[in-house]
Structure 1
Amino acid sequence: MQVQSLFITATGTNIGKTHTTVKLIEAFADKGFCVGVFKPIETGVDTFPHDASLLLKVCQKVNKNFKDLMPEDITAYTFPLPAAPFCADTEQIIDLNRIMEKYHELSQLCDILLVEGAGGLMVPVTKEYMMINLAKELNAKVLLVTPSKLGCINDTLLSMSALRSYDLEFDWCVNIFEDKESFSEVTQPFYDAVFPEWWSVEEGLQRFISTY
């Protein structure tokens, strides 16, 4: 059986991709899935890849096939500079084939592989290859995580437009952690009017999992 892939992205950085991916690992496992995780590129890594380490730790609790792996086994590249991969890759060592090889290796260990991108959809991996290109190449369904802060409507709609332009199947959710007190007044009315089925990471994850 061909492994299913879910590509977790966001409208930008520090939106809650890793937080959401952790919740997804636990939720998929609770539904009986053999779930795996892949963090293709992590930047801002001096000696310890914090995101990959957290994701692996959670995954190891639910998938014995990941028990003996190390954080570097679930990521293809790490860079010290906290920047877009293209900028962080000062020696231009990123090889897209290596990312795909790592993806296929990890796919053998699960029946659904969660792939967490870096930053947002249009973050450059190389000069001409963006994160959205990776999602397309993986033929993965996309989960777009959006913030709850003022201005997020614009960012959400722009990201949706990009996904549609690449003909990518996607769902989306709100990570309610910024401007929580004003969200219901400043942002939610638009979502309720235009996207009545919208959901948040805090409420709605189980319904999303049930579509698999």
Structure 2
Amino acid sequence: MRSLFITATGTNIGKTHTTVQLIEAFAARGLSVGAFKPIETGVSALPDDASLLLKVCQKVNKNFLDLTPEDITAYTFPLPAAPFCADTKQEIVIEKIIEKYHELSQLCDILLVEGAGGLMVPVTKDFMMIDLAKKLGSKVLLVTPSRLGCINDTLLSMEALKSRDIEFDWCVNLFEDKGNFAEVTQPFYDAVFPEWWSAEEGIQRFISTY
């Protein structure tokens, strides 16, 4: 079983959007795909991200048909905040997340793990989202935005991944400031990362080499 950890430079960048595309793309290549949202905050009833991921998985993997959104998460919290802050009763136990990861891994060929927020979002006081990616031993896909300022965010996230010797690839979600991207951001990416790709156009190429 393989796994891929989908993270981003921050919140509302497009992790779920990208993960959905990955589920569909891997399934189209004949792989049994699963999804895991370890922690979701801002949950008032059902976890929205986990619900969407499960719905897509159920279309391509019969092993997920009887699961509920709560089955593909380890923790949910009502406060829309970093897990450490949302976890007001200090309930999070990292081992429970690992156990859920291994449980879901038995149901698929590749498990897509969607993080919460960005890499340095605290899960506990001294355990960040990047530490979870490292502990799972997953390759990471970093999703970056297209808005003004994204070069700085992208480079900082890359440095964090490199500092922990985590294997990663990255893509741009062309959404915010899309009309200005070609002028204010793309010239740098073209010069420094000539093989950069977008979530809208490069998914197939990415999974063909994964």
Structure 1 length normalisation: TM-score? 0.99
Residue 91 of structure 2 aligns with an amino acid whose one-letter code is: I
Distance in 1 (CA, whole Å) between partners of 2:130 and 2:151 is: 20
Distance in 2 (CA, whole Å) between partners of 1:163 and 1:97 is: 22
Distance in 1 (CA, whole Å) between partners of 2:200 and 2:91 is: 38
What residue in structure 2 maps to residue 163 of structure 1? 161
Correspondence for 1:105 among 103, 106, 112: 103
Q: How does 1:21-40 map to 2 (within 5 A)?
A: 21-40=19-38
Which consecutive unaligned segments of at least 5 residues does structure 2 have? none
CA-to-aligned-CA distance 1:91-145 (integer Å, 9 cap, x gap): 0000111100100000000010000000000000000000000000000000000
1:48: how far off?
A: 1.5
Residue 42 of structure 1 aligns with an amino acid whose one-letter code is: E
What residue in structure 2 maps to residue 132 of structure 1? 130
Residue 197 of structure 2 aligns with an amino acid whose one-letter code is: W
Counting matched residue pairs gives 210
What residue in structure 1 maps to residue 94 of structure 2? 96
Distance in 1 (CA, whole Å) between partners of 2:202 and 2:45 is: 36
1:32: how far off?
A: 0.8
What residue in structure 2 maps to residue 201 of structure 1? 199
Correspondence for 2:13 among 12, 15, 19: 15
1:69: how far off?
A: 0.2
Which consecutive unaligned segments of at least 5 residues does structure 1 have? none
Distance in 2 (CA, whole Å) between partners of 1:36 and 1:48 is: 19
Q: How does 1:108-187 map to 2 (within 5 A)?
A: 108-187=106-185
Q: How does 1:52-63 map to 2 (within 5 A)?
A: 52-63=50-61
Residue 159 of structure 1 aligns with an amino acid whose one-letter code is: S
Distance in 1 (CA, whole Å) between partners of 2:53 and 2:197 is: 23
Distance in 1 (CA, whole Å) between partners of 2:156 and 2:56 is: 32
Distance in 2 (CA, whole Å) between partners of 1:113 and 1:187 is: 32
Structure 1 runs of 4+ off > 4 angstroms?
Answer: none
3-state DSSP of counterpart to 1:145:
strand
What residue in structure 2 maps to residue 86 of structure 1? 84
Residue 198 of structure 1 aligns with an amino acid whose one-letter code is: W
Distance in 1 (CA, whole Å) between partners of 2:202 and 2:43 is: 32
1:42: how far off?
A: 0.1
CA-to-aligned-CA distance 1:30-64 (integer Å, 9 cap, x gap): 01111100000000001110000000000000000
Residue 127 of structure 2 aligns with an amino acid whose one-letter code is: Y
What residue in structure 1 maps to residue 4 of structure 2? 6
Distance in 2 (CA, whole Å) between partners of 1:117 and 1:27 is: 19
Distance in 1 (CA, whole Å) between partners of 2:43 and 2:2 is: 29
Work out the percentage of aligned pairs sharing the same amino acid.
Answer: 82
